[in-house]
Amino acid sequence: MKENSKKITRRGFIGTTGTIAAGLTILPSSVISGLGKRAPSDKLNIAVVGIGGMGNTNLKNVKETENIVALCDVDWGYAAKVFAANPNAKAYWDWRKMYDEMGKSIDAVIVATADHSHCVAASNAIALGKHTYVQKPLTHSVYESRLLTKLAAKYKVATQMGNQGASGEGVNLTIEWLQNGEIGEVKKVEAFTDRPIWPQGQNVPKGEWVPDTLNWDLFIGPTRMRPYNSIYTPWNWRGWWDFGTGALGDMACHIMHPIFKGLKLKYPVRAQGSSTLLLTDCAPNAQMVTLTYPERVVPKGSKIKYPEVQVIWYDGGLQPPKPIGWPAGKDMNNNGGGVIFHGSKDTLICGCYGRDPWLLSGRVPVAPKTERRVEGNKHELDWVRACKESPESRVPSKSDFSEAGPFNEMVVMGVLAVRLQGLNKELEWNGEKMEFTNIGDNDAVRLTISDNFTIIDGDPKFDRPNKQLNAKQFASEMVKHTYRKGFTLPDMPA
């Protein structure tokens, strides 16, 4: 295989990898072990969907102890080195074909595609009874998050979202301090990230020729077709609404997890968003979102109450005001973002991934160790461990879909609030029914198609064509996407 990925054609790569994979007979670990039970020493047969970016990191973190039997990617130029480094794994363009051909040989699947393809690949794997690891954000929509949560419970598979901070000590300590009453009752939390670090606020580009090493139709997957442009792939898709969820979707799963878990949140009841110029296709350069959560039932033996709380998010370089008593010169940004918990007794601050929690008072809490620790913070191996345990006795992973699903609904709700800001009102949300209750049948929202700024004879000229949409239909489509023909989801379990 040639080193220059631009020279690798589909036919040439299929010939190379097909020869390697031909004749291999791979039995799932459940067959080898018998009766569906595995010893910890048994190896899982793992397939990975989306291997060019974080998928490769996930792969590397499991390949020393498990079998990598199949790899799938739509961009064989970007993924060429990963295919080459795993010659015994059968190579695929299309995960649907991979499931059809190797479903009986696979124990578990890692999904690390663009956001819009997470759910369709993961849900169909779960419906086949496969343990599933999905990169963050778990899904692109609220409905998809709810679906993965219920499917995982129905099929009793081991699951994990790829917010690796969930396995770290910072998240453990933050949760323990909150639930031990170290800062009292919390009615406001502020969180932020320094992302995006990719282009946002962009006009839709003109079409280009598709590289030979990219299957554009498969990259588009379940969303609407659009002409290819190199600005979309292999990484900058995050900033485009059809493919990604902007800076909030990219980083909130890392930053807001200790908020969701530590304050025992579930569904918000109100949401509102604002941003820099909001375009129809591309996420804005900076956003601010406020989610309001109702008072929660106090667990038996709890040391604190859980009153109504506002969670406020900032991105694009925006940060919350520094609280009174903030150490002069101390950077609020810790490894990409941070969180401020405003308590009735003290203020708790932690960084991205929940790292380095500390109290503004300077006091160092001593709280009971109630959170399970993951040895070496090995997030993927915590999932592998769960895969090898029987459903009856399984200890859930640190970001099992039973928690990651509802948490991800919090994240994508922020996207909804931003995209519906043109209604100029606080949105009211029924979490159980997954619908807004104060958007009328005739409400409309105006969206900007493009931002065409020019200077003519020294004078600025603004040309911002827009379109008006029925807000209720627009919101419904964002909550539950209409998939393109050829891509389907399993039914929502009761």
Q: What's the predicted TM-score (pTM) here?
A: 0.92
| d(C-alpha 412, C-alpha 399), whole Å | 17
Mean pLDDT for the stretch of residues 264-282: 97
> Any idea which residue has 């974080």 for tokens?
54
**Co-location of 257 and 344 in the same domain:** yes
Query: Is residue 462, in this structure, part of any structural domain at all?
Result: no
Same domain, 30 and 102: yes
pLDDT digit string, tens, across residues 46-74: 999 999 999 999 999 999 999 999 999 99
Co-location of 189 and 160 in the same domain: no
32 has a pLDDT exceeding 50: no
What CATH number is attached to the domain comprising 321? Answer: 3.30.360.10
**86 is a domain residue:** yes
Is 77 domain-assigned? Answer: yes
pLDDT at 452 over 70: yes
Q: Are residues 344 and 265 in the same domain?
A: yes
**Residue 33 predicted with pLDDT over 70:** no
Judged against a pLDDT cut of 50, whether residue 14 lies above it is answered with no
Let me know: does 126 contact 103? Beta carbons within 8 Å: no
Considering the domain architecture, whether residues 157 and 120 belong to the same structural domain is answered as yes
Cβ neighbour number for residue 231 with a 10 Å cutoff: 16
Tell me, yes or no, whether 353 lies in a domain: yes
* DSSP collapsed to 3 states, the chain: CCCCHHHCCHHHHHHHHHHHHCCCCCCCHHHHHCCCCCCCCCCCEEEEECCCCHHHHHHHHHHCCCEEEEEECCECCCCHHHHHHCCCCEEECCHHHHHHHHHHHCCEEEECCCHHHHHHHHHHHHHCCCEEEECCCCCCCHHHHHHHHHHHHHHCCCEEECCHHHHCHHHHHHHHHHHCCCCCCEEEEEEEECCCCCCCCCCCCCCCCCCCCECHHHHHCCCCCCCCCCCCCCCHHHHECCCCCHHHHHHHHHHCHHHHHHCCCCCCCEEEEEECCCECCECCCCEEEEEEECCECCCCCCCCCECCEEEEEECCCCCCCCCCCCCCCCCCCCCCEEEEEEECCCEEEEEHHHCCCEECCCCCCCCCCCCCCCHHHCHHHHHHHHHCCCCCCCCCCCCCHHHHHHHHHHHHHHHHHHHCHHHCCCEEEECCCCEECCCCCCCEEEEECCCEEEEECCEEEEECCEEEEEHHHHHHHHHCCCCCCCCCCCCCCC
Residues 147 and 258 occupy one common structural domain: no
363 and 244 share a domain? yes
Indicate the average pLDDT of the chain.
92
Residues in a beta bridge with 133: 110, 160
Same domain, 90 and 179: no
Residue 60's alpha-carbon distances to 94, 313, 490, in angstroms, are: 21, 33, 30
Structure tokens at 40: 């910890």
User: For residue 72, what pLDDT is reported?
Assistant: 98
Query: How many CA atoms lie less than 13 Å away from 281 in the CB half-sphere?
Result: 15
Please compute the mean of the pLDDT values over residues 475-486 and round it to a whole number. 98
For 410-447, write each residue's pLDDT tens digit. Answer: 999 999 999 999 999 999 999 999 999 999 999 999 99
Helix axis angle, 401-419 relative to 142-155, nearest 10°?
170
Q: Does 330 fall in a domain?
A: yes
Residues paired with 275 in a beta bridge:
287
Q: Give me the CATH number covering residue 97.
A: 3.40.50.720
- C-alpha 121/C-alpha 94 separation (Å) is 10
Count of structural domains, the chain: 2
What is the C-alpha R_g of the chain?
Answer: 23
* Residues in the chain, total: 494
**213 & 186 share domain:** yes
User: Cα–Cα distance between 457 and 161 in angstroms, integer?
Assistant: 54
The pLDDT value given to residue 39 = 63
What integer pLDDT is reported at residue 333 of this predicted model? 98
Residue 187 in tokens: 């009615």
Whether residue 93 is found in the same domain as residue 192: no
In a domain, 279, yes or no: yes
One domain for residues 415 and 429: yes
* Least confident segment among 34-48, 121-135, 462-476: 34-48
The pLDDT assigned to 25 comes to 40
Give the separation between CA 181 and CA 186, rounded to whole angstroms.
Answer: 10
Q: Is the pLDDT of residue 35 over 50?
A: no
Residue 107, Cα to own-chain centre: how many angstroms? 23
Give the domain range for residue 32: 5-164+379-400
Question: 219 CB contacts (<8 Å, ≥6 apart)?
Answer: 74, 75, 114, 233
* Res 29: pLDDT: 53
Measured distance CA(137)–CA(408) in Å, rounded:
7
Determine the pLDDT at residue 18. 38
The predicted-structure confidence for 241-261, as pLDDT tens digits, reads as follows 999 999 999 999 999 999 999
Residues 6+ apart with CB under 8 A from 293: 263, 265, 266, 267, 268, 269, 308, 309, 310, 311
Q: Is residue 439 part of a domain?
A: no
What's the confidence (pLDDT) of residue 93?
98
Residues of the chain with pLDDT > 90: what percent?
Answer: 88
Q: How far apart are CA 337 and CA 323, in angstroms?
A: 16
Answer yes or no: is 296 within a domain.
yes
Q: Specify whether 42 is located in the same domain as 183.
A: no
